Structure 1
Amino acid sequence: MEPKISIIVPVYNVESYIHKCVDSILNQTFKDFELILVDDGSPDNCGKICDEYAQKDNRVKVIHKENGGQATARNAALDIARGEYIGFVDSDDYIEPDMYELLYTMCVGYNCDIANCSSTIYFKDRIQVNGGHGFMLHDTKEAMKIAIEGILYDECLWTKLIRRSLFNGLRIPIGIAYEDTAFTYKLIDRADRVCCKGEPKYNYIKHDDSTMDRAIKNVKIDAVLVYKEMYNFMEQRYPELCDLVVLKLANNTLSLMNLIIKSGNFDKYKENYFKIAKILNDKFSRTIRLKNYPMNVKILLIANKINPILYKQILKII
């Protein structure tokens, strides 16, 4: 008999965290699942630890592969997953005992393709508890709007339980930061019904060397490219949501341009600077009309439209 849920965990260099993560999954009150641990060429003892779990619990399946990054690990697991629904957990995080019971009950009880819970984020100096709202049910258009706004649920895969059929012909993009952002909205587009409940069941441990932190430190433009692709998608499928996406696109572009200017290494990053400046210019007519943009930001948008170097000069005096 096929399991109701397949839980996918990419594993790489997390020897000090993996036991807490896997134990939190195996101790779920919901028992009918398979756990797919993907050893992504981990240089420590993670591969051995995964195999030990598989020997102790027949629900655990292990994939050993060459290192290719989180997306390749998740995709390798998706290729063999048998559950009706798919869940994702990062190997340095852990989940509450009833997380998948809550999500599965919502999916089945309301015939939903995607169910969302909330999370608790553990920073070095503080704890952020998300959620707090009751059960809500949305159709595709409502869910897409809410997802972009980021009000009721986030764009992360790990707070969700997703019907496996939504992944047919669709896989997580490889080799970029913000892969969840680049992917989740495409799943929502395929969903007829999406539900959420603001109970913090996922515990996210924030590390300074996370994928997104590295992207910021390396001044990568992935976020801008992701929102550009999302904008093009919405323009075709949900034109009424384009203003929401162009706001995210503009905010990320402006922040990154400012970061490059203030980095002291403009020459090193100038190719990326001009590339994203052009992307921002291409959306000028829509961006300049955004009501919640203050005048000083609109001055910068106009300066960038005239010449990205003029933007650089004006930023220093505003």
Structure 2
Amino acid sequence: MTVVGRIGRIIRASGSRLARCIRPTEPLVSVVVPVYNVEAYLASTIDSVLDQRLVDFELILVDDGSTDRSRRIALRKALGDPRVRRISQRNAGPGPARELGIRIARGKYLAFLDSDDLLPPDALGALVDSAEKTGSEIAVGAFRRFDGARVWVPEWVGELHGGPTLRTTLDATPKLLRNNYPCGKLFRRDFWSAQRLGFLDGVIYEDQPLIALMFARASSIDVLDTITYDYRARQDRSSISQRPEELRDLRDRVAAWRRSLDSLRREGVGEAVLAAWYWTLYATHFHWYLDNDAIDDDEYWSILRAALLTVEEHEPDDARAEVAAERRAALSLLASGRQEELLQFRASGAYRCPSDYFVGADASGVEYGFVVDVPLTERTTAPPAARVQHLVERGEFDNEASATELRLSGFARIRGVPDTVGVSVRIELIGRRTGAAATVFEQPAEGGRFDFTVGLGPLADDTYEFSATVEVNHLRSQVSLGHPAEWLAADGMVAHGADRQYRLERDPNPHVPLRLTVVGLMPPERRVRRPPGTEPRDPQR
């Protein structure tokens, strides 16, 4: 090992302040950030990288011809921390900017960050720890979104990132294609370079076909349940990817769909992978445009309809099995060219509140009677598409001194089924490490409401999650366990039993259950109200 290599190893092992004072010649991670006119966000974005628990990285800021104060902010940060490298180019778009950053990167791993988003403090550490342990070529973390008013986690994130899945492949975990963004991930740089692929120039969604192919070619992928990315939804909608009503956005999105599908088919992926990509299109992407006021425009409508008819030509069997009824109905109206009825369907509120048109539910699915005439299959949410909405509204220790009883209240119901319909709810307490499960509540509940107390005395040292199963007329659906919660519930209380410490945790996502963590063996006299380092973090800083 070279002297430089030994120094780098010492820096990584120590995690000391020395790493903040020396520009690494062989950094562990190269973080590439394309920068263009983001003066309102850039400083906090850079700070979120500099505040990482893992300190052995280089941050490459590629100024893409900014005309605001972004250039000055980037320069100031580079002067203040030797790990920050700033380079510039004439305005060419995010794709060429990322490519320039990749060419000068020196890290073992590549990571990407958009210049208005944030990295949670443990993001790089969690991704690197996993990749170093498993040797995987890609590590994929969960992400959440935030704006000026709230923080939330998309429902599919809880499904895909419900638990760590290490050394997997796209064939084994095809729904990875839903997380088709370059950010929130770690790529081994030698693997990336060997693919001889790159970000495209001149289009908005230049990254999606590329990431799909990277997934398809990787022999080992780690899917983490840790949130590694905070994605900003700009309230002024100034981001180029937050304007689906524009024709350019629609055209670029359609082009990305076609490139992705063509690339996957040329790659020879299996039917399960293709079906997962169609699920992404049919359950999500198409509806950013269908449920949009611009759908009233004839040209907009024609472009979107032509795109649907094209992708339908290669649609795998059961590609719509996990698509909810209101979305299947909208796709049916688009395919048959019934624009006026689609507008009527939107105006009826069926997109947002399908439960208003609930007809019934049984083992075959949830049926609706929409205001437009579509086939029964297109107005029924089949069992594979049924999802539980699950929210623990309150969690508290009934006996704070001993923490022997935990009381939980909230609801669990099948999405799209009205609260007035009687359901049966079952809650299980599941050990994350041991996999042991205990049913702690099972009974009919009006509107899915539950309120129960469970004793904690006999629990082993483990992290416990609450799973909900809901049944209505023999139709069953189970909530995803979700990813590890990062925010403490209630007042962040930590209580102790005779020999254990318990902590309630919850995520701001209604679909991710509250979690009870048995922190570990600890004498009862060492009681604390909030352990150091567990204060809830404001994603906006």
Q: Which TM bucket (shorter chain)?
A: 0.7 to 0.9
Contact 1:144–1:188 (CA under 8 A) maintained in structure 2 = no
| Residue of structure 1 equivalent to 2:223 | 196
Write the deviation string for residues 85-136 of structure 1: whole angstroms up to 9, x where unpaired. 0011122122222221221111111111111222231134421145574432
- Aligned runs of 1:59-138 on 2, under 5 Å? 59-129=83-153, 133-138=162-167
Contact 2:48–2:119 (CA under 8 A) maintained in structure 1 = yes
Could you tell me which of 243, 264, 275 is aligned with 2:306? 275
Secondary structure of 1:242's aligned partner: helix
Secondary structure of 1:31's aligned partner: coil
Q: Comparing 273-282 with 92-101, which one deviates more in the overlay?
A: 273-282
Secondary structure of 2:310's aligned partner: helix
Contact 1:42–1:67 (CA under 8 A) maintained in structure 2 = yes
TM-fit CA distance, 1:17:
1.6
- Aligned runs of 1:1-318 on 2, under 5 Å? 1-129=25-153, 133-142=162-171, 145-148=174-177, 150=178, 154-168=179-193, 169-207=196-234, 208-218=237-247, 220-235=250-265, 236-250=268-282, 255=287, 258=290, 263-266=295-298, 268-269=299-300, 272-273=303-304, 275-283=306-314, 286=316, 290-292=320-322, 309=337, 311-312=338-339, 315=342, 318=372
AA partner of residue 155 (structure 1): N
TM-fit CA distance, 1:6:
0.5
TM-fit CA distance, 1:190:
2.5
Please, which runs of 5 or more residues in structure 2 have no aligned partner? 1-24, 345-370, 373-541
Give the TM-score taking structure 1 as reference length. 0.82
Contact 1:143–1:188 (CA under 8 A) maintained in structure 2 = no
TM-fit CA distance, 1:273:
4.3
AA partner of residue 26 (structure 2): E
AA partner of residue 272 (structure 1): I
Q: Comparing 32-41 with 219-228, which one deviates more in the overlay?
A: 219-228
1:96–1:314 distance in 2 versus 1, CA, 3 Å: closer
1:141–1:96 distance in 2 versus 1, CA, 3 Å: closer
User: 1:27, 1:57 → 2: CA distance?
Assistant: 12
Contact 1:107–1:114 (CA under 8 A) maintained in structure 2 = yes
Across the aligned residues of Structure 1 and Structure 2, the Cα RMSD in angstroms comes to 3.1
Secondary structure of 1:199's aligned partner: strand
TM-fit CA distance, 1:74:
0.9
Give the TM-score taking structure 2 as reference length. 0.51
Contact 1:227–1:245 (CA under 8 A) maintained in structure 2 = no
User: 2:228, 2:289 → 1: CA distance?
Assistant: 36
Instruction: Give the length in aligned residue pairs.
Output: 309
Please, which runs of 5 or more residues in structure 1 have no aligned partner? none
| Residue of structure 1 equivalent to 2:13 | none
AA partner of residue 224 (structure 2): K
Considering fraction of residues, name the structure with more strand.
2
Contact 1:144–1:185 (CA under 8 A) maintained in structure 2 = no
1:296–1:26 distance in 2 versus 1, CA, 3 Å: closer
AA partner of residue 227 (structure 2): P
Contact 2:30–2:59 (CA under 8 A) maintained in structure 1 = yes
TM-fit CA distance, 1:300:
7.5
User: 1:32, 1:128 → 2: CA distance?
Assistant: 30
Secondary structure of 2:170's aligned partner: helix
TM-fit CA distance, 1:272:
2.1
1:54–1:281 distance in 2 versus 1, CA, 3 Å: closer
AA partner of residue 226 (structure 1): A
| Residue of structure 1 equivalent to 2:519 | none
Considering fraction of residues, name the structure with more helix.
1
Return the index of the structure with the highest Cα Rg: 2
TM-fit CA distance, 1:216:
3.7
AA partner of residue 93 (structure 1): D
Secondary structure of 2:111's aligned partner: strand
Contact 1:37–1:61 (CA under 8 A) maintained in structure 2 = yes
TM-fit CA distance, 1:251:
5.2
TM-fit CA distance, 1:292:
4.8
Secondary structure of 1:95's aligned partner: coil
Q: Percent identity?
A: 26
